[in-house]
Amino acid sequence: MKVDFVSRHGLDVDSQFCKFVEHDLVPLLHFSEEEFWKKLALIISSFSSENDDLLNARKDFQTKINLWCKKNSKSYHNHNSYHAFLKKIGYLEPPVDIFQIETENVDPEIALIAAPQLVVPVSNSRFALNASNARWGSLFDALYGSNLIPDKNLTTEQNNYDPQRGQLVIDYALNFIDKVIPIKNASHSEVNNYFVEFYNDEYVLNAILKDGGKSQLKNSQQFIGWSDEDKSQSLLFKNNNLHIKLKIDSDDPIGKESPGNICDIFLESAVTTIMDCEDSVAAVDSEDKINVYKNWLGLMLGTLTCEMQKSGKKFTRSLNKDKVFTAKNGKLLTLSGRALMLVRNVGQHMKTRMILDNNNPVSEGLLDAFITTACAFAGNKNKKEFSNSKTDSIYIVKPKIHGSREAKLFNRLLIMLEKLFKLPENTIKVGLMDEERRTSCNLMQCIKEIKHRIVFINTGFLDRTGDEIHTSMHLGAMLEKDKIKQQDWLDAYEKQNVDIGIACGFMGKAQIGKGMWAKPDELREMMEVKIDQLKSGANCAWVPSPTAATLHAIHYHYICVQTHQRKLKKEYNFYMQDLLKPPVALQRNMTFNNIQDELDNNIQGILGYVVHWVNQGIGCSKVLDINNVYLMEDRATLRISSQHIANWLLHNICTKEQVLSTFYKMAEYVDGQNLAIESYRKLVTNNQNSYAFEAACELVFQGCNRANGYTEEVLHKYRILEKNKNI
Summarize pLDDT for 356-373 with one digit per residue, the tens: 999 999 999 999 999 999
3 state DSSP class of 434 = strand
What is the per-residue pLDDT for 76?
59
In 446-596, beta strands by DSSP E:
454-459, 511-514, 540-543
Q: Where are the alpha helices (DSSP H) in 332-452?
A: 364-381, 404-420, 437-441, 443-449
What is the per-residue pLDDT for 152?
53
What letter does residue 310 receive in the DSSP assignment? E
Catalytic residue among 264, 279, 634, 639: 634
Q: What residue type is assigned to position 378 of the chain? A: A
Burial (CB < 10 A; 0-12, 13-18, 19+), residue 469, is buried
The helix or strand, by DSSP H or E, that contains position 196, with its residue range, turns out to be: strand 191-199
Strands 202-209 and 214-215: antiparallel
Count of residues making up the chain: 727
The pLDDT-based confidence of 231 (bands split at 50, 70, 90) is confident
Rg (CA), the chain: 27
pLDDT at 74 over 90: no
Query: Does 634 participate in catalysis according to the annotation?
Result: yes
Summarize pLDDT for 273-325 with one digit per residue, the tens: 999 999 999 999 999 999 999 999 999 999 999 998 877 788 899 999 999 99
Taking the C-alpha atoms of residue 387 and residue 382, their distance in angstroms, rounded to an integer, is: 9
Summarize pLDDT for 604-635 with one digit per residue, the tens: 999 999 999 999 999 998 999 999 999 999 99
What is the per-residue pLDDT for 180?
98
Instruction: Check residues 265 and 567 and name the one with the higher pLDDT.
Output: 265
CA distances from 445 to 94, 279, 327, 441 (A): 8, 25, 45, 9
Identify whether the C-beta of residue 264 lies closer than 8 Å to the C-beta of residue 140. yes
Query: In 10 A of CB 218, how many CB atoms?
Result: 11
Q: What residue type is assigned to position 375 of the chain? A: C
pLDDT at 1 over 70: no
Taking the C-alpha atoms of residue 319 and residue 384, their distance in angstroms, rounded to an integer, is: 13
**Euclidean distance between the first and final Cα of the chain, in Å?**
8
- Name, in order, each residue with C-beta under 8 angstroms of 484's C-beta and a sequence gap of 6 or more: 465, 468, 478, 490, 583
Contacts 24+ apart (CB under 8 A), 677-680: 679/616, 680/611, 680/615
Taking the C-alpha atoms of residue 435 and residue 407, their distance in angstroms, rounded to an integer, is: 13
Burial (CB < 10 A; 0-12, 13-18, 19+), residue 216, is middle
pTM: 0.96
Taking the C-alpha atoms of residue 177 and residue 140, their distance in angstroms, rounded to an integer, is: 12
Number of H helices, E strands in the chain: 25, 28
Taking the C-alpha atoms of residue 437 and residue 589, their distance in angstroms, rounded to an integer, is: 28
What is the per-residue pLDDT for 585?
87
What is the per-residue pLDDT for 572?
66
Cα 362 versus chain centre, distance: 26
Contacts 24+ apart (CB under 8 A), 651-659: 651/476, 651/477, 653/477, 653/588, 653/590, 653/595, 654/595, 654/599, 656/701, 658/596, 658/599, 659/599, 659/603, 659/700, 659/701
Q: What residue type is assigned to position 53 of the chain? A: D
- Lowest-confidence pick of 10-19, 126-135, 153-162: 153-162
Query: Buried b vs exposed e over 8-35: b needs ≥16 C-beta within 10 Å?
Result: bbebbbbebbbebbbebbbebbeeebee
Would you list the DSSP string of 107-146?
A: -HHHHT--EEEEEEETT-HHHHHHHHGGGEEEHHHHHHTS
Catalytic residue among 8, 135, 344, 635: 344
- Name, in order, each residue with C-beta under 8 angstroms of 378's C-beta and a sequence gap of 6 or more: 25, 28, 29, 297, 300, 301
Query: In 10 A of CB 522, how many CB atoms?
Result: 17
Nearest to 276 by CA among 547, 549, 556, 635: 635
The pLDDT-based confidence of 73 (bands split at 50, 70, 90) is confident
3 state DSSP class of 1 = coil
Query: In 10 A of CB 7, how many CB atoms?
Result: 10
Identify whether the C-beta of residue 642 lies closer than 8 Å to the C-beta of residue 711. yes
- The domains located in the chain, with CATH, are 52-132+276-317+342-579 (3.20.20.360), 137-268 (2.170.170.11), 592-725 (1.20.1220.12)
What is the per-residue pLDDT for 235?
98
The pLDDT-based confidence of 118 (bands split at 50, 70, 90) is very high
Nearest to 430 by CA among 274, 561, 569, 269: 274
What is the per-residue pLDDT for 157?
56
In 3-state terms the chain splits into helix, strand, coil percentages (rounded to 5) of 45, 20, 35
- Name, in order, each residue with C-beta under 8 angstroms of 308's C-beta and a sequence gap of 6 or more: 126, 314, 315, 316, 317
pLDDT at 201 over 90: no
Taking the C-alpha atoms of residue 136 and residue 244, their distance in angstroms, rounded to an integer, is: 9
Query: Buried b vs exposed e over 493-514: b needs ≥16 C-beta within 10 Å?
Result: bbbbbbbbbbbbbbbebbbbbb
Torsion angle defined by CA atoms of residues 367, 344, 396 and 435, in that order, rounded to the nearest 10 degrees: -110
Taking the C-alpha atoms of residue 438 and residue 662, their distance in angstroms, rounded to an integer, is: 33
What is the per-residue pLDDT for 573?
75
Residue 215: which region, alpha, beta or left (left: phi > 0; alpha: psi -120 to 50)?
Answer: beta
Identify whether the C-beta of residue 645 lies closer than 8 Å to the C-beta of residue 703. yes
Average pLDDT over residues 182-192: 97
Taking the C-alpha atoms of residue 439 and residue 92, their distance in angstroms, rounded to an integer, is: 10
pLDDT at 505 over 90: yes
- Name, in order, each residue with C-beta under 8 angstroms of 520's C-beta and a sequence gap of 6 or more: 544, 545, 548, 622, 630, 631, 632
Taking the C-alpha atoms of residue 175 and residue 159, their distance in angstroms, rounded to an integer, is: 27
Average pLDDT over residues 494-504: 95
Taking the C-alpha atoms of residue 726 and residue 220, their distance in angstroms, rounded to an integer, is: 64
Query: Does 344 participate in catalysis according to the annotation?
Result: yes
Q: What angle do CA 7, 10, 12 make, to 5 degrees?
A: 40
Taking the C-alpha atoms of residue 432 and residue 448, their distance in angstroms, rounded to an integer, is: 12
Strands 394-398 and 115-121: unpaired
The pLDDT-based confidence of 433 (bands split at 50, 70, 90) is very high
